[in-house]
Amino acid sequence: MGNDSFCYKDNIVLELGLSSSMVENNSTNTTKRPCSSLNFDPSLTLTLSGDRDHDHGLTKKKPARDHGGLYRQDSVSVGSSLISVASVCVKREREVKSGESEKVISTTSDQVEEQDDNSVNDRKKLRLTKAQSALLEEAFKQHSTLNPQKQKQELARELKLRPRQVEVWFQNRRARTKLKQTEVDCEYLKKCCEALKEENTRLHKELQELKSLKLPAQQRYMKLPAATLTTCPSCEGVGDTTSSANTRRPFTMAQKPHFFNPFSNPSSAAC
């Protein structure tokens, strides 16, 4: 019965509002979302790690870029080419240039000062105060992304944090939200899967019962009222809607009103 879950895969996708093209998009298109990842559509994007790179046909080992300013490589060998990154401003440097340095944002926060003193490998983790968290949460509720740089700067000033910290907080917050949503979706899919298994078992039973009737195949088919027929989502075979199955189902069946005779198509019997 290894086929059971596979059998109804498309239906799960349908129920979650994920068309195959959407799935494709999710895995290949990483374009910026306009905003508000808060409003997650009920889609589940479970991709294997490294999918994106795979999709783009890239193998790993690009020049190491340093966003955090921990270290900097002058050059890195990639295949046969030597890519110089000496001219690449690391992100921290960019921020400094764009006025995001700690000095620009004057702060009385001991936490920040303490952190500034830290050596490269000795990062100290600050704990945001409740007030800071609350303010950030509020900002996140309004916009899950820091769209204009100005917003980041303002928030940082207001919170007496560095813009980089605000940025990181938003990134982590988005990640947490997404993770939570994924868990919810996972649970939902599990339930769907269970329901589908039950449904499949029930259909199998019904099929066996029908087969066990000692009527000629053609006659059996003719006896089924058209109104009671529906399509099997996986193989587009025929099922019986008179049972309570439809009311129990937490999902909708594929919208392909394509009836055909399961008895003249042996492969459908395996569904």
Partner DNA sequence: AGGAGGTGGCCTGTTACGTCA
Partner DNA sequence: TGTGACGTAACAGGCCACCTC
Q: How far apart are CA 259 and CA 271, in angstroms?
A: 15
Q: Is 223 in the site for DNA (CB under 7 A)?
A: no
CB of 20 to DNA, least distance (A): 19
Stretch that binds DNA, among 89-97, 189-197, 218-226, 241-249 (CB under 7 A): 89-97
The full 3-state SS of 95-116, as one line of letters, equals HHHCCCCCCCCCCCCHHHHHHH
Q: How far apart are CA 129 and CA 151, in angstroms?
A: 20
Q: Is 109 in the site for DNA (CB under 7 A)?
A: no
* Structure tokens, 115: 């952190």
Rg (CA), the chain: 28
Q: How far apart are CA 34 and CA 121, in angstroms?
A: 36
Q: How far apart are CA 234 and CA 242, in angstroms?
A: 19
Q: Is 139 in the site for DNA (CB under 7 A)?
A: no
The Cβ of residue 245 has, within 10 Å, a number of other Cβ atoms equal to 18
Q: Which of 2, 79, 80, 127 binds DNA (CB under 7 A)?
A: 127
Q: Which amino acid is at 112?
A: V
Stretch that binds DNA, among 17-25, 167-175, 198-206, 251-259 (CB under 7 A): 167-175
CB of 31 to DNA, least distance (A): 4
CB of 114 to DNA, least distance (A): 9
- Interface with DNA (CB under 7 A): 28-33, 37, 45, 47, 49, 52-53, 56, 58, 60-71, 87-89, 91, 94, 97-98, 115, 122-128, 133, 145-147, 149, 152, 164-165, 167-176, 178
